[in-house]
Chains A and B, each alone.
Chain A
Amino acid sequence: MNNKKDQAAFHLMLAPSIVFLIIFSFIPMFGIVMAFQNYIPAKGISESAWVGLDNFKFMFQIPDSRQILVNTIVIALWKIIVGTVVSIVFALLLNEIRVRFAKKFMQTVVYLPNFLSWAVLATVVMNIFSYEGPVNAFLGWLGIDPVLFMASNHWFRPMLVLTDVWKGFGYGSIIYLASLTAIDPGLYEASSIDGANRFKQLWHITLPGLMPTILLVTTLNLPNVLNAGFDQIFNLYNPLVYATSDIIDTYVYRVGLVERQYSLGTAIGLLRSVVGIVLILSANKLAQKLTDYRIF
């Protein structure tokens, strides 16, 4: 009927968003050519000399590049594994709380850190674990020498994982809680008639019921192995712990923007996003195969 008018309305609705995407997403994509140039800001993209794959070759020759890649993947994997396990356990425990008020209160408390920025939390974490902070005060009380947690290559990674999980586990548990409520209560009744105790119910009903969600969330986490958490590390680290905490994103920031090596920064960024896309697309395929879910 009014089809022409409808089509026009739809195009008009999308127009402003598309304009913004063109300016701030698509035009920057042309900047990627910098990765193949020796970009000099005074000359601009059109005048700078082409160097082919030199930036990429140089990237692999930097002595730190291996270390950075290892840091990124190790930190990200630990965060994913510990984060998933803690979220599931927390959802299971919370599900057992029968007092409504207590449950709501708990949820409010554990979801909250997710909404605070690392700029703020980092300052708090640094104070708590500082040389004279409460943690070291407690260790001193136990007769243990103070530890420089934030300046020790031995402690820094565990600190990253610990604080990241603390910030995110409540929020991560929401999806598991939701799928727990979707498990048929009839199964529990039937099993208790058959004499199954709570632990057996957990093993034979709850965990299998959660399995599809666990599988899905884990699959969707796959692309994050190159994303070890810029905000957190950038706000917490210092040159003393670069060896164990410098990740691709923090490195690109320092090389590209602070040291103004635009071409090298762009090249590393490009390689990272290409691998990232491959991971996202594979996760999407995998999730579709395993659980019939599609991100897009």
Chain B
Amino acid sequence: MVSIFPVNFTLSSYEKLVSDSQFWRSFMISVERVVLGLIVNMMLMILAAYPLSKSSKQFRAQKVYMNIVIFAMLFSGGLIPTFMVVKGLHLLDSIWALILPGAVPIANVILLMNAFRAVPKSLEEAATIDGASQWRILSTIYVPVVLPTLATVTLFTIVGHWNDYFSALVYINKTSNYPLQTYIQQLSVDVQNITDPQKLIEYSKISNRTLNAAKIVISTLPLLLIYPFMQKYFVTGIVVGSVKE
């Protein structure tokens, strides 16, 4: 019988967990995904947000690009056509299927674009007089100035990649290649196929619940560790990004 307070406190499920090789394999796939995804997302995001933050006077094609980006944000082919493109590129079952379709996170690009717009123009003008190129201005002036927003976006990106279970469900066929959240999600999937209430009751009795709980704790640990350090940034980041005076 389960009660509100834990009974028979034990670490044995953690001991069992250490020997679960699939769990750790999935864990490492998730780590790999976060690292690769973060690099790809941040590079593309910064490089796209900077020109978009310019006025159409300074960057003549700004409006055209902005319309392309907004259109891509509003309208999509949907789940099935996107799946077929990924399949056609032979990306199925590879880690890139989890990263490349979302390589340009448009909502974050717009957040960052607004942050770039708030940077005082005089900083750039001074650098231009010194003969700095746009690449240099971006890397030495704009990026350092918007660091709090970048921290926010970094947190969102890490959380997004770490928490996503769905793209692996769609794009990865081999369960041995599942990232951690998809692996966790599959733990509860058996329940979804039960159609008889009586079976559901029986299931909840026999599931090795503590082992699953241990897996869940470990899977959230990386987020719990970075989150407190990022919190002060994301609160300001969200507010600056959403409330325009």
A residues neighboring B (CB under 8 Å): 1-2, 5-7, 9-11, 13-14, 16-18, 20-21, 23-32, 34, 107-108, 111-112, 115-117, 119-120, 122-124, 126-127, 130-134, 137-138, 148, 150-151, 174-175, 178-179, 213, 230-231, 234-235, 237-240, 252-253, 256-257, 262, 265-266, 269-270, 273, 277, 280-281, 293, 296
Contact = CB atoms under 8 A, between A and B. Distances in A.
Contacts of A240: 194-195, 197, 200
A160 B75 CA distance: 28
The majority secondary structure among interface residues of chain A is helix
Nearest to B205: A132
B193 A120 contact: no
B81 A28 contact: yes
Contacts of B194: 238-240
A108 B110 CA distance: 26
10 contacts: A13-B50, A21-B69, A29-B76, A123-B187, A131-B201, A137-B3, A148-B201, A238-B192, A238-B195, A239-B193
A28 B44 CA distance: 20
B100 interface: yes
Nearest to A31: B81
B216 A179 contact: no
**Interface size class of chain B, counting residues whose CB lies under 8 Å from the partner chain:** 35 or more
Contacts of B128: 1-2
A215 B155 CA distance: 28
A20 B102 CA distance: 9
Interface of B: 1-4, 43-44, 47-48, 50-52, 54, 58-62, 65-66, 68-70, 72, 74-86, 89, 100-104, 109-110, 128, 133-135, 138, 159, 162-166, 170, 181-182, 184-185, 187-188, 191-195, 197, 200-201, 204-205, 209, 212-213, 216, 219-220, 223-224, 227-228, 231, 235, 238-239, 242-244
A17 to B, nearest CB: 4
A25 B100 CA distance: 11
B243 A179 contact: yes
Contacts of B62: 10
Contacts of B188: 122-123, 126, 235
Looking at A7, A20, A30, A231, which has the most chain B CB atoms within 10 Å of its CB?
A20
